[in-house]
Structure 1
Amino acid sequence: MAVKIEKKITGYAVVSAEDKNKAVAGASIARDTAEAELPVADVIQMHERIERPEVLIGSTYKIKSPLVEHAMYVTINDIVLNAGSEHEQRRPFEIFVNSKSMEHFQWIVALTRIMSAVFRKGGDVTFLVDEMKAVFDPKGGYFKAGGVYMPSLVAELGSIIEEHLKSIGMIVDADLSPAQRALIAEKRAAYEQRSKKNAEITQPLEPIDYDANMEDPAEDIAVTGDGTSFPPSASMCHKCSTKAVVIMDGCATCLNCGYSKCG
């Protein structure tokens, strides 16, 4: 097809095949096309569209609370994402609570269904721990084994979820520093030594046959265990919620976390 040139020619050049290839290589490409061609890591994150596998890994925890007649068993099942790869991670998928006691059946079922839905939604589910541990029973809380204060049954459920999330690596527990551990060990040793001295002072010169219902005077001030048991006379620590605060040298000292307050 002939092309008629109606303007004056000011210059000309011959375009070779190599020039055409360079022009095609330098042509602009749409951003969406370029991003689509980039390599993408095939990492699966937790989201609500993931279907439940036939088999899940689970852990069961026991709650023995004075607020309910029978023990409660909390089962949390986890799903393993990216199994066998460097991106393998374990995430909570569902939670169940079983008990012979039917007193709290309705709200327990509702709570576990909501929490299971939050687990399957994905993202940061650790906020559940703080929300549940902040629930207080208007009738009053209780101390569980070890002297840890629980303000409500819901708070203990939150404590169990926290323990489970720590075990699968979603919550990193801030360990005590070596200096703090050494301070707590020193305070415990000093308290035990003082308790032994007080027991020797109050010990009668002649042995007394105590009745089976009477308690040994030295038993009330004995410290037993490796950090999980504390003196019966200890008060609750406002920092770690553990009944482990004793009075030493005029200062209130926690034998569990090392918190101290004088005056």
Structure 2
Amino acid sequence: MAVQIDSKIIDYEVARADAEAKQAEASEKPEAPGLDIEHMHEELQRPERLEGQTYKIKTPLSEHALYVTVNDVILNEGTEHEIRRPFEVFINSKNMDHFQWIVALTRIVSAVFRKGGDCTFLVEELRSVFDPRGGYFKKGGRFMPSLVAEIGDVLEQHLRSIGMMEAETLDEHQRRYIEKKKAEVETRAAQEPIEADCDDSTAEYPPGAELCDKCHMKAMVVMDGCLTCLSCGESKCG
């Protein structure tokens, strides 16, 4: 069949025998219904029941412990798009000294949760708060610059547990490097015995180790003329 061409030819392709059949099949195939995926937003109504976890914070700054509860909402439950997102946070304690700022903090953080999107920035913001009276070392030797910073630490634990944040792990090269440095320090300590620190919370690292600005552990020692952290591998020499 002859076809009259009224416009200028600018491109061409060779038609295959099954091209028309495939095109007809595609046009007859019904369109897949749009996936109604629910995301976190401000208009989302609070369900009658939420799942969550409660974390205990015991600090030397207070006689009474703080209990931080983070409740999560499950979106798209029962589907392949099911996700768990933080919805609200509560902080409770017998100590009423910090009542006002605790109430304010829980309301602001809960509001950020309900806005949706990436809320992981809260962890760094809270952990960057320093107490002018000084911080403290928690069990295990990790330094906490303030009570607010430890609440941020708890929030990080929770976001990691629900998959919103990934755990910071050392790669194989870093792990071998730290193990090598630990062995060198232990050998040197055995040759030149130093009186042990009475604080057993940092007994894993050599006495006299300095505080690391990155992981907040007293694990910075001088190796090859450079301060190196035996916990996270941070080095002042790059």
The alpha-carbon deviation at position 255 of structure 1 amounts to 0.6
**What is the count of residue pairs matched by the alignment?**
207
Residue 215 of structure 2, aligned match among 223, 237, 240: 240
Aligned mates of 1:251, 1:72 — CA distance in 2 = 39
1:103 equivalent to 2:97? Answer yes
- Once superposed, what is the RMSD of the aligned Cα atoms? 2.5
Kept after mapping to 1: 8 A contact 2:139/2:201: no
Kept after mapping to 2: 8 A contact 1:224/1:230: no
Aligned pair in 2 of structure 1 residues 220, 131: CA closer, same or farther (>3 Å)?
closer
1:61 equivalent to 2:52? Answer no
Aligned mates of 2:101, 2:137 — CA distance in 1 = 23
Aligned mates of 1:241, 1:110 — CA distance in 2 = 27
Kept after mapping to 1: 8 A contact 2:70/2:89: yes
Aligned mates of 1:231, 1:71 — CA distance in 2 = 30
The alpha-carbon deviation at position 114 of structure 1 amounts to 1.6
Which residue of structure 1 aligns with residue 10 of structure 2?
Answer: none
Q: Which TM-score applies when normalising by structure 2? A: 0.78
The alpha-carbon deviation at position 68 of structure 1 amounts to 1.8
Residue 189 of structure 1, aligned match among 183, 187, 193: 183
1:133 equivalent to 2:127? Answer yes
1:149 equivalent to 2:124? Answer no
Aligned pair in 2 of structure 1 residues 238, 125: CA closer, same or farther (>3 Å)?
same
The alpha-carbon deviation at position 232 of structure 1 amounts to 3.9
List, as ranges, runs of 4+ consecutive aligned residues in structure 1 with deviation greater than 3 Å.
none
Alignment of 1:15-26 (within 5 A): none
Aligned mates of 2:49, 2:133 — CA distance in 1 = 41
Which structure would you say has the larger Rg? 1
1:231 equivalent to 2:225? Answer no
The alpha-carbon deviation at position 38 of structure 1 amounts to 7.6
- Listed as ranges, the gaps of 5+ residues in structure 1 are 1-36, 203-216
- Listed as ranges, the gaps of 5+ residues in structure 2 are 1-30
Aligned mates of 1:232, 1:69 — CA distance in 2 = 29
